[in-house]
Structure 1
Amino acid sequence: MASKLLLLGLLINLLIVKDAQSVGVCYGRNGYGLPSERDVVRLYQRNNITRMRIYDPHHPTLEALRGTNIELMIGVPNDRLQSLNDQNAANIWVRDNIQRYPNVRFRYIAVGNNVDPNNGNSRYVPFVLRAMQNVHNAVRAAGLGNQIKVSTATYTGLLGSSFPPSIGAFRDNVRGFIEPIIRFLSQNNLPMFANIYPYYANPNSNLPFALFTATQPVVIDNGGRQYFNLFDAMLDAHYAAQARLGGGNVEIIVSESGWPSSGGPVATIGNAGTYYRNLIAHVRGTRGTPLKPGRSIETYLFEMFDENRKPGIEVERHFGIFTPNQQPKYGQLSFN
């Protein structure tokens, strides 16, 4: 009996450790003066960051990751989706960018990012699902189906309603695009990736709610579910929207979340530091969300460095948590 209790305790400890490692960091390269790929990987290692997201199969980064303990989410860029509607092209993509690197710890493939019938990425809508299916088939044919999960990265802009979270639903003109994707993920036990940004959800209306510093519930939803932070509310709205389309069993991986340090009225060093510290503490725990209590929330911080070459509005260039000289922008963040 004692040995069984000891084994149970060890298993519980392993589960706790697994949850504690639920934080990764996105690595974008669209900035001036960034460190070399090998220096970036060393920076991840020095800070005990064990998960990375990249947005394309950048071979110098893959070379730098060889033999490390860093688990990787690798992206298929939107402009490659149409070509991967051909199964042979998907097989070649997996061969060249996955199988060629057997000592890189691939965890996920994100096939497309923020594709939406209502934004500038609408032209890619017809190609996402077939590209996902073909890449998934190629991964399985390579014998890697138990190691690598294939999905696509969505975002809150696909939702037509999200407040309170229980009424979360996709926009009417999004449903034809997203429902077959959710069905595919559900049938194959694959997760959904979602980019979730409280910063873009009108944080001025209640900044403590957005920064995880509210001391009282701000939203009380069906069944008495209490929301103390906007991140959980947005995530649960995604879960509710998926459930309406038959995806109640599809886990959501938060593939991006962050706060800018400049470029907007609440985009400050202080607010960004507060957000990142509190987000890490929140997702490393085992509390889950009010709708999904006790479930760890695997989350990727956006992002490693400011991408000051990005086009668009100024705020998009200020999400980095490290400076180009590899110094922490917000003091030492605790990733383990």
Structure 2
Amino acid sequence: MTNSIVLLLFFLTFLEHGLFFQRVSSLGINYGQVGDNLPPPNKVLQLLSSLNINKTRIYDTNPQVLTSFANSNIELFVTVENEILPSLVDPQKALQWVTSRIKPYFPATKIGGIAVGNELYTDDDSSLIGYLVPAMTSIHAALVQTGLDKYIQVSTPSSLSLLQESYPPSAGCFRPQVAGVMTQLLSFLRSTKSPFWINAYPYFAYKDSPTKIPLDYVLFNPNPGMVDPYTKYHYDNMLYAQVDAVIFAMARLGFKDIEVGVSETGWPSKGDGDEIGATVANAAVYNKNLLKRQLHGEGTPLRPNMSLDVYLFALFNEDLKPGPTSERNYGLYQPDETMTYNVGLLSSSSTSSQSSTSTNSFMSITSSASTVCTNTGF
């Protein structure tokens, strides 16, 4: 048997049993550390490298992680913890934070972004959101002062609770109580050429309305999908619809040119009795189908030629996370580095990227639509 035939059979075997996954520049993974049994950072680095993943997000500036990831090919997206955000409004304290938490590790450690807080606005708590833009401004000024602003972006991951309406996507708009802050935030992102990050979980929508939302629609499986009655765009999955709703919400405030990325998305493999759909099978399907989309460099219907940056949540199950059972079971891997389920992450090398575009129908709808959201359901 010739070598070429052997290679062909080897490749076909992978296609049959899982996704033959190539390195994709638009894909990252969240590396949470809320557990007492997780592998050390150097082991995590080996795991990520073996999966050909070259971007990861952490929820602090853990010195062990920053040191362990030095001289690797993995770019880190680090986080300012919510509780210290008010103090960083002070430019001097922000400078001290950058000089002690970022500068000593860069450039040996590839730090590409700073997330200022995480989900600072939720339905239950909005006490910190007033500090957001001032803290971001101070941190960016500190990066400018230290010469790091050319390499490190500053943004913040937001939950979809910022939206008053998200269906259909063209009706997307922000809640009135955050519109002022969002205008300030989007102005900052535009001026610094930084993306708007969202944590988007179709799982939550399905869990809350399993009789109204088709499971195949949220899992990226083949399904009839839905057509936005105003744009006439067809959506075959909820994640893309959620992203486009955010893009429309930004446009209603006058910001049509800011990139949107997904800083968290995933599906739990286990849940409590009322957490409908939290199964190993569904988690495997959601993440595998999403990975296939990332491999093809897909964009959303509104921005079809701009590949969507996505960070999967999460690398590990984290046993100390509070809340329902699902919160501790989003990991692709168990803490002992065995797979929770197989999504077909296999080592190879390739990158894909695409350029941005706009659509005439998007411009006409957002320019003529009012900022009032209509109350429509799925």
TM-score by length of 2: 0.81
Cα distance in 2, alignment partners of residues 90 and 28 from structure 1: 24
Q: Are residue 33 (structure 1) and residue 37 (structure 2) matched? A: yes
Give the 5 Å matches for 1:274-313. 274-313=285-324
Cα distance in 1, alignment partners of residues 50 and 234 from structure 2: 37
Q: Are residue 119 (structure 1) and residue 117 (structure 2) matched? A: no
Give identity over the alignment, percent. Answer: 36
CA deviation map 1:233-264 (0-9, x unaligned): 00100111111112211111210000000102
Contiguous gaps of at least 5 residues in structure 1: 1-17
Tell whether the 8 Å contact from 1:192 to 1:253 is kept in structure 2 after alignment: yes
Give the 5 Å matches for 1:152-191. 152-191=156-195
The one of 312, 331, 335 equivalent to 2:342 is 331
Number of aligned residue pairs? 319
Matched AA of 1:109: I
Equivalent residue, structure 2, for 1:210: 218
Task: Name which of structure 1's ranges 185-194 and 265-274 shifts more when overlaid on structure 2.
Answer: 185-194
Cα distance in 1, alignment partners of residues 325 and 254 from structure 2: 39
Equivalent residue, structure 1, for 2:101: 97
Structure 1 residue 156 displacement after superposition: 0.6
The one of 245, 248, 255 equivalent to 1:240 is 248
Give the 5 Å matches for 1:70-81. 70-81=74-85
Tell whether the 8 Å contact from 1:209 to 1:229 is kept in structure 2 after alignment: yes
Give the 5 Å matches for 1:110-149. 110-116=115-121, 118-120=123-125, 122-149=126-153
Give the 5 Å matches for 1:42-81. 42-81=46-85
CA deviation map 1:153-182 (0-9, x unaligned): 111111000000001001111212222111
Matched AA of 1:298: D
Q: Are residue 108 (structure 1) and residue 116 (structure 2) matched? A: no
Structure 1 residue 332 displacement after superposition: 4.9
SS at the partner of 2:318?
coil
Matched AA of 1:277: K
Tell whether the 8 Å contact from 1:182 to 1:246 is kept in structure 2 after alignment: no
Tell whether the 8 Å contact from 1:117 to 1:174 is kept in structure 2 after alignment: no
Tell whether the 8 Å contact from 1:261 to 1:271 is kept in structure 2 after alignment: yes
Cα distance in 2, alignment partners of residues 80 and 196 from structure 1: 25
Task: Name which of structure 1's ranges 179-188 and 261-270 shifts more when overlaid on structure 2.
Answer: 179-188
Contiguous gaps of at least 5 residues in structure 2: 1-21, 349-378
Equivalent residue, structure 2, for 1:10: none
Cα distance in 1, alignment partners of residues 72 and 235 from structure 2: 38
Tell whether the 8 Å contact from 1:253 to 1:298 is kept in structure 2 after alignment: yes
Matched AA of 2:59: Y
CA deviation map 1:273-317 (0-9, x unaligned): 000011111133233001111111111000011112111122111
Equivalent residue, structure 1, for 2:279: 268
Q: Which has the higher helix share?
A: 1
Structure 1 residues 52 and 290 mapped into 2: Cα distance closer, same or farther (>3 Å)? same
The one of 258, 261, 264 equivalent to 1:256 is 264
Structure 1 residue 188 displacement after superposition: 2.2
Moved over 6 A (4+): none
Task: Name which of structure 1's ranges 250-259 and 197-206 shifts more when overlaid on structure 2.
Answer: 197-206
Tell whether the 8 Å contact from 1:77 to 1:112 is kept in structure 2 after alignment: yes
SS at the partner of 1:99?
coil
Tell whether the 8 Å contact from 2:288 to 2:343 is kept in structure 1 after alignment: no
Cα distance in 1, alignment partners of residues 233 and 343 from structure 2: 33
Matched AA of 1:81: L
Tell whether the 8 Å contact from 1:19 to 1:286 is kept in structure 2 after alignment: no
Tell whether the 8 Å contact from 2:23 to 2:52 is kept in structure 1 after alignment: no
